[in-house]
Amino acid sequence: MVTFSRETLEKYRADTDAMRQKAMEESDKQILTLASAALGLTLTFYKDVLSQQIGNHGWLLLMAWACWSVAILSAVVSMCLSARESSLRIHHVDAALKKGGDNLQADFENATWVTRLFLDVFNWITPIAFVVGMASFASIFFLSMQH
């Protein structure tokens, strides 16, 4: 086991948290882009191409569309909740700074637990809905190849 100073660990934690936040934001953006593109392309080509290929498996396409729509909505809500949580944290930091003194206290946990809970839920829903949508769409082609 390696020993670190408190300052080093706090800096490492802050840097790691910033990287985690950026990774979540990028993931949401990528899923939002891919789900929107998949939804748009399948809707555009439905009449000319997909309607003839899906046969009796139209429910899979509807499921893919529903999942991609959920992924898009969930990513947008997640981004809004993330911005809201940041605003709440800034508000509590500002309130603590106004008090003055050397030992400042800011209550982040109690202030943002509801937002954090919903943010965590939507951060799980987004990739799951996207993957289920892709699996449903891929299933159409696998099933149509068998017939």
What does the pLDDT average to over 53-73? 88
Residue-wise over 44-59: b if at least 16 C-beta within 10 A, else e? eebeeebeeebeebee
Q: Share the mean pLDDT of the chain.
A: 82
For the chain, how many structural domains are there in total? Answer: 1
Pick the closest to residue 131 from 27, 45, 22 (CA basis): 27
pLDDT of residue 14 exceeding 70, the answer is yes
pLDDT of residue 53 exceeding 80, the answer is no
Containing structural domain, residue 102? 28-146
Rounded CA gap, 123 and 20, in Å? Answer: 12
What is the per-residue pLDDT for 133? 96
41: tokens are 């392309």
142: in domain:
yes
21: in domain:
no
83: in domain:
yes
pLDDT tens per residue, range 88-139:
777 777 776 677 666 666 666 665 778 888 888 998 999 999 999 999 989 9
What is the per-residue pLDDT for 1? 62
Rounded CA gap, 46 and 61, in Å? Answer: 10
6: in domain:
no
